[in-house]
Amino acid sequence: MDLQRTTECEGALVSDDNNSLTVRDNRTGKEYDIPIADGTIKAADLGAIKLNDDEPGLATYDPGFVNTASTKSAVTFIDGDKGILEYRGYPIEQLAEKSNFLEVAYLLVYGELPTKEQYDSWVHEITYHTFVHENVKGFMQGFRYDAHPMGMLMASVGALSTFYPEAKNIHDPENRHIQIVRMISKMPTLGAWAFRHAQGKPYVYPDNELSYTENFLSMLFKMSELRFEADPRLVKALDVLFILHADHEQNCSTNAVRSVGSSQVDPYSAVAAGVGALFGPLHGGANEAVLRMLRRIGSKENIPAFIEGVKNGNEKLMGFGHRVYKNFDPRATIIKKACDDVFEVTGVNPLLAIAQELEKIALEDEYFIKRRLYPNVDFYSGLIYEAFQFPPEMFTVLFAIGRTPGWLAQWLELTQDTEQKIARPKQIYTGDRKLTFVPASERWK
Ligand SMILES: CC(C)(COP(=O)(O)OP(=O)(O)OC[C@H]1O[C@@H](n2cnc3c(N)ncnc32)[C@H](O)[C@@H]1OP(=O)(O)O)[C@@H](O)C(=O)NCCC(=O)NCCS
């Protein structure tokens, strides 16, 4: 499309299409009409704006993609101002209350709620692919005794690509389906074995008679009993936590999965990249920081002094604030309820009282009100995980298991999106140019 037009003073036609942006390049006096669609302009359209034909056109500079849409997606909708999170159009509150993780996984991956037959076959498939090749067990056992479980998870999920080399046939729908099933099935096995490894305990094989979440708890905690029976309230709470973490549109790890997946590599390698991104403290690690903070505060009496410190800019109130949610994080409300259910079984974590008081004080304080800072999903999730007796290193592994269907739904969407290209951002080069190389033998004389 030819976007360039002459300036108004030169008598240019004004476009009657209101759905466009008129840009005037003051360097040349030229004006350009750039179409607007879905509240965006195409960055490539800016390429037509140039000083002369020999120069590259205008580009945008957007570190961290704060205002750049990298894809069209029909998976997850978020309205941060209104506190709305929907998977495929269904509100998170309804899914957390009335659905279960595997049904939500199906919904995310295939875009619609399953029929009874589809659901039964999906659950059957996921349940019967939970075992991994014995060699996977062998190499997991080769990790150092104190290996971080996220490192083990990242390596082992990536290694699955070597067990299923056909996974590289990403344009074959049947093949894509089986790899998706395998990954959702095997992530709990790998995560649980990473946990057992750190404890020096034998790995527990999957029990296919159990539900997805029950089986995961069994692989984590089973000792000599014939069958591990988890309290149904704990099973439900963990299932809800998986649902809450299942997708969150183009976050850092999903972007990593899409970026790596855009090279058309197999999905195990793409998801391994997502696990790596989630490992970082800015993404998956905030709930651990909340626990450290609550422990440091130690008792309710110390809260006012702590809040003063936050207001003076000495530190942050961890678990508060969100880049997208500016009124409330809908997931935090659901987690608070799950907290009550879990503590009914495990007994109350003494840190809960501090957390609740801290939340109450902060929500009434002008500093937090003015900045629209509310509890986020991480404020209470660490307390729940601790009640399950998970060490903090496991928190992100739980997040990764929950996020796997979301990563795969986004990956599947990517493989079928004809507008996608290999991810390859531009840069603004700031280094030297055209230096003359002097060999070391002369430089070091
Ligand atoms: C999540 C987070 C990174 C979002 O950051 P953001 O959208 O870039 O918001 P900003 O950093 O621009 O913060 C806006 C203002 O609120 C303050 N603020 C944000 N989060 C705060 C917190 N948790 N405690 C105290 N002040 C906070 C900032 O200092 C800033 O104040 P200023 O305007 O006086 O400078 C941020 O709120 C944060 O670090 N929270 C704590 C960590 C956390 O819980 N992360 C998990 C997210 S799910």
pLDDT digits (tens, 9 = 90+) for 337-349: 888 889 999 998 8
DSSP for 362-411, please give it.
HHTSHHHHHTT--B-THHHHHHHHHHTT--GGGHHHHHHHHHHHHHHHHH
Atom of ligand 1 nearest to the CA of 323: 7
Nearest to 109 by CA among 331, 404, 398: 404
Mean pLDDT of the chain: 93
Does 9 score more than 50 pLDDT? no
Of all protein residues, whose CA lies closest to atom 8 belonging to ligand 1? Answer: 323
Nearest to 323 by CA among 282, 287, 367, 364: 282
pLDDT at 5: 46
Of all protein residues, whose CA lies closest to atom 14 belonging to ligand 1? Answer: 371
Does 12 score more than 70 pLDDT? no
Q: Please tell me the distance from the alpha carbon of residue 435 to that of residue 380, in angstroms, as a whole number.
A: 55
Of all protein residues, whose CA lies closest to atom 38 belonging to ligand 1? Answer: 321
Between CA 316 and CA 323, with CA 318 as vertex, the angle to 5 degrees is 90
Per-residue confidence at 15, pLDDT binned at 50, 70, 90? low
- Whether ligand 1 lies within 6 angstroms of the CB of 318 is answered as yes
Does 123 score more than 50 pLDDT? yes
pLDDT at 14: 45
pLDDT digits (tens, 9 = 90+) for 382-392: 899 999 999 98
Instruction: Please list, in sequence order, all residues whose beta carbon lies within 8 angstroms of the beta carbon of residue 383, skipping any fewer than 6 positions away.
Output: 290, 291, 294, 339, 349, 351, 352, 355
Q: If you average pLDDT over residues 178-190, what whole number do you get? A: 98
The rounded Å distance from CA 374 to ligand 1 centre is: 10
Does 266 score more than 90 pLDDT? yes
Q: Which residue among 252, 282, 293, 316 has the greatest number of ligand 1 atoms within 8 angstroms of its CB, and so is best to mutate? A: 316
pLDDT digits (tens, 9 = 90+) for 271-322: 999 999 999 878 887 888 899 899 999 999 999 999 999 999 999 999 999 8
Does 17 score more than 70 pLDDT? no
pLDDT at 326: 87
Per-residue confidence at 1, pLDDT binned at 50, 70, 90? very low
Pairing of strands 30-35, 76-79: unpaired
Count CA atoms within 13 Å of residue 250 on its CB side: 16
Does 160 score more than 70 pLDDT? yes
Backbone dihedral region for residue 143 (phi beyond 0: left; psi -120 to 50: alpha; all else: beta): beta
Higher-confidence position of 376 and 104: 104
Between CA 165 and CA 205, with CA 130 as vertex, the angle to 5 degrees is 120
- Whether ligand 1 lies within 6 angstroms of the CB of 385 is answered as no
Atom of ligand 1 nearest to the CA of 377: 48
Of all protein residues, whose CA lies closest to atom 5 belonging to ligand 1? Answer: 323
The rounded Å distance from CA 38 to ligand 1 centre is: 29
Q: If you average pLDDT over residues 76-85, what whole number do you get? A: 94
Would you call 322 a catalytic residue per the annotation? yes
Count of CB atoms situated within 10 Å of the CB of 136 = 21
Higher-confidence position of 10 and 38: 38
Per-residue confidence at 6, pLDDT binned at 50, 70, 90? very low
* CB of 239 closer than 8 Å to CB of 100: yes
Looking at 152-166, 284-298, 403-417, which range is the least confident one?
A: 284-298
Does 59 score more than 50 pLDDT? yes
Per-residue confidence at 377, pLDDT binned at 50, 70, 90? confident
Would you call 365 a catalytic residue per the annotation? no
Domains and CATH numbers, the chain: 21-69 (no CATH), 76-415 (1.10.580.10)
